[in-house]
Structure 1
């Protein structure tokens, strides 16, 4: 049976379509062009998300989902050009991951760069009052804001002292002191304090 192995291998290699090896490993564009294309598209998408991404990441509706699904297809040709090779795809992936890691590391050391890439938190509620101007600027409805606030433990807007939409899309909420839900530990401390006060005020027996 062993003597038939070379014949099987040669038959298998002969069945491989011509040009498969070149499609896998031959770049159709210079490596530098591939790197530049990938970095420019990365920065372009980062800019788009910087401008309009807070609301997109906070509350994604069906239209936002369509945008996200189509975005990769829209920029795909801009990244790969006419290069469909395996090596070209791997180069693009490595450049994306490496460039993202460099920006992350750099932004941790530079607050200014972090602000340029991500922006800052946007105050949307102050003492229970909604800032409708900021909501319109963010493209966020009051219903979406209320839903996000309720997920943070508030029942109504009147319980909220401050609420802000963070650059990453999360909503941070600071409740009024009287709106915090009491825990079992809080109740125990209150009972212990009341018991101590009663014992201090109790007259001593003769």
Structure 2
């Protein structure tokens, strides 16, 4: 087989395998980066690099592999944009964690977030406690959005902080 075509086929196979594996094993495995997760990412990248380029360790082989990965990701994003069912399969729906100051314990357990993690996220939004939260949602990108109500002015406040370590979850 042509060496370039070999790199293309290998890279596509590895990309598809990784997408399926992340979906099956849960996105939260790769999104809240603790020390174990960083090690896992480094080992996975090292393990699949050889699987993608095989014996071709040239610059050309590496660039072809990278181009294939970018192209496959671009196509995947386009498919998700064009097909709602496919998007629903690939990404979870937002999950309501708190409504009117009451925690949905079932939702917390489903998305594998502890009460302490939820309270931390709420404090990051400048809200004193869960009882002051009108609505808290785990968004599809792993961030927690918080809508609170100021008791004095009865004004609703919405804040969303981009977390460095995003958390995604199993369905």
Q: Give the 3 Å change call, closer, same or farther, for CA 85–40 of structure 1 in structure 2.
A: same
Structure 2 gap segments, 5+ residues each: 156-171
Q: How many residues align?
A: 155
Distance in 2, Cα, partners of 1:176 & 1:47: 41
Q: Which runs of 4+ in 1 moved over 4 A?
A: 179-182
Q: How much does 1:91 deviate?
A: 0.7
Structure with the larger helix share: 1
Q: Distance in 2 between matches of 1:83 and 1:152?
A: 49
Given the alignment of the two structures, is residue 116 of structure 1 paired with residue 89 of structure 2, yes or no? yes
Match of 1:138 in 2: 111
Match status 1:53 vs 2:2: no
Q: Say if 2:150 is the partner of 1:156.
A: no
8 Å CA contact retained: 2:127, 2:148? yes
TM-score (norm: length of structure 2): 0.73
Deviation of residue 179 (structure 1)? 8.1
**Following TM superposition, by how much is the alpha carbon of 1:55 offset from its aligned partner in structure 2, in angstroms?**
6.9
Partner of 2:43: 70
CA distance in 1, matches of 2:126, 2:153: 8
Give the structure 1 partner of residue 138 of structure 2: 165
> Shift of the alpha carbon at 1:130?
2.6
**Aligned residue number for residue 36 of structure 1:** 9
Structure 1 portions without partners, runs of 5+: 1-27, 183-206
In structure 2, the residue matched to 1:98 is: 71
SS in 1 for 2:123: helix
* In structure 2, C-alpha distance between the alignment counterparts of 1:180 and 1:163, rounded to whole Å: 20
Q: 1:83-107 deviations in whole A, cap 9, x for unaligned?
A: 2122111110111111212222232
1:56: Cα distance to partner? Answer: 4.5
Q: CA RMSD in A?
A: 2.9
